[in-house]
Amino acid sequence: MESGPTVMRTFSIALLLLAGLALVACGDDEIAGARVRLITSAADGAVQGEVQLQAVDDGVGRVYPAKPLGDDVYVAPGAPPGKYRILSTGGWGMLWSGRTGSSAPLLRGAGHTPALVRMGKPRSLYVASGLPGQWTLGATWAAEWKVAAEGDRATWEPVDLRIEPLDEGVFALRFPAEVWSFGRLIRVLGTMSDGTVTAMQTYQVRDEKRAELPRMALVLAAVQAPLTVHLVPPPGVKQVPDGTPVRVRLLGVPLDHVYEGQSYEGRAQFDELAALGHALRVELPQSGPDAMFTLDPETWRLRQSLHVVAVDPEKLADVQLVELGGGFTEARVCYRGASTFGRVSFERVDAPPDAVEHSVRVRTHPGWQEWWLRTVDGEWLYMADDIEGPPHELLIDTDRTDGAGVRVSGRVPGAPPGTRVLARQVHEAYGIEGEEVLPERRLGGEGFEAAVSPQGGYDLQLPPGRYEIRVLGPTGASSRPKVMPFAPGAQVRLDLSMR
């Protein structure tokens, strides 16, 4: 029989073993602290670096180191229940959406199911569809950056973007370290799988201490707006052939995106162009490389149409005009026998640095024609002449404009979608010595039409003169015309009726 001390020593060892077994049985499940289950893409792999929980609502943003418990669950010993940002010393972070991030997750301790939090790699923007059942993201993306502190003075620079497809229709856009850094402004644009352009995603990297943390964006399609391109035929052609290609290119956005269209009955209709507050460039490939026309966003919004001359590049006559009013911004031509002005392209002619006068070369067709030219100063110049054909180059010296432009705006109560206000400039009989007199005529086309907004408003900006104005409904029904003279620089409020 064992002695007393021996029995007591054996009993003490047994107690220690039982206590150790109890601790093992309890394990990490009894560690007090907030818990989280992290989710990562298979392409990203496991989170790198030590996982940390940063308190959101404690007033100081205390950081608690977290330890893995297995099965992607982490616990931060001593961290009380609350809302936390999850990040790592390797630059990984939770994927927020929205300007300042979605609501931080509520994390609690043992006895509660850990909150699920998706994590992403540093300097990455993860994009996913905001309407998964309706839109699926495509793999085409582009980005630009600039220094936010310089504001509008800074130039947007392209980003060498790396695009990685992940699971569940999510794409990871990887940015270089010199771009995704404190004080940078970043904007991103992509397409859906059907080619629809997305809304613009714009972010400023504001976290100076943790600038590398990733972001998440739930992407929707951009607001769409229509544009009708009217192809004005050159002299001797009744109508531009059906199937003539027309391109519309987005300008001033990160993505080089082109819409392809074809004409039918003299029009190319684009029903859904991304409207991101940017300009458009309309191109007519069959009219030569110079047949490109820029449409600023305000003009597109007010008109929703563009009239351009589909020139024959083999029959062009170059005409030089001395610039007035700071230079020309637009050239419209209406050929004899027609009633529609269309834009034609032009370029500035090289001149010595000390030249007093500059001129532009306008590409038009030979023959009798009437012109309206708009200057930088908002003045208008009207001309009518018989232009000789190639290889002649005519230099026309003009010494004055015909006056400032006219603005006519108002409302069309009850106008259904697709309603337009049409202006036709009334020209008196006109002739030049040695030419027959032209009869009175009404000319419209480029710049002489305005779309009626959903709120019922319209806005026309016209050269000075006498006009016939009417409302054209979406079914072709026309109101009774009003004929009114507008002096140079006039600002006119004119409400119209559908009748």
Residue type at position 48: Q
Q: So what's the pLDDT on residue 325?
A: 78
The CB density around residue 180, as the number of other CB atoms within 10 Å, is 25
Q: So what's the pLDDT on residue 24?
A: 36
**Residue 266 pLDDT exceeds 90:** yes
Percent of the chain with pLDDT over 90: 72
Residue type at position 20: G
More confident residue, 202 or 385: 202
Summarised one tens digit per residue, pLDDT across range 423-457 is 999 998 876 666 667 788 999 999 999 999 999 99
Helices and strands, counts by H and E, the chain: 2, 41
**Residue 252 pLDDT exceeds 70:** yes
Using CA atoms, how far residue 78 sits from 47, 74, 170, in Å, is 22, 13, 35
Per-residue pLDDT band at 298 (split at 50, 70, 90): very high
Highest mean pLDDT among 322-326, 347-351, 492-496: 492-496
Summarised one tens digit per residue, pLDDT across range 59-92 is 899 999 999 999 999 999 999 999 999 999 999 9
Tokens 């490939």 belong to residue: 285
E strand or H helix at 15: helix 4-26
Per-residue pLDDT band at 322 (split at 50, 70, 90): confident
**Residue 263 pLDDT exceeds 60:** yes
Residue (of 202, 186, 196, 253) closest to 220 by Cα position: 196
More confident residue, 337 or 468: 468
Q: So what's the pLDDT on residue 253?
A: 96
Show the tokens assigned to 423. Answer: 């202006």
Residues 165, 141 contacting (CB under 8 angstroms): no
d(CA 196, CA 250): 13
E strand or H helix at 292: strand 292-295
Rounded to two decimals, the pTM is 0.85
Per-residue pLDDT band at 6 (split at 50, 70, 90): very low
Looking only at the bridges linking them, the beta strands covering 379-387 and 367-375 are antiparallel
**Residue 246 pLDDT exceeds 50:** yes
Residues 460, 421 contacting (CB under 8 angstroms): yes
Mean pLDDT, residues 414-427 taken together: 95
Q: So what's the pLDDT on residue 1?
A: 38
CA angle 484, 488, 492 (to 5 degrees): 50
More confident residue, 324 or 72: 72
E strand or H helix at 468: strand 465-472
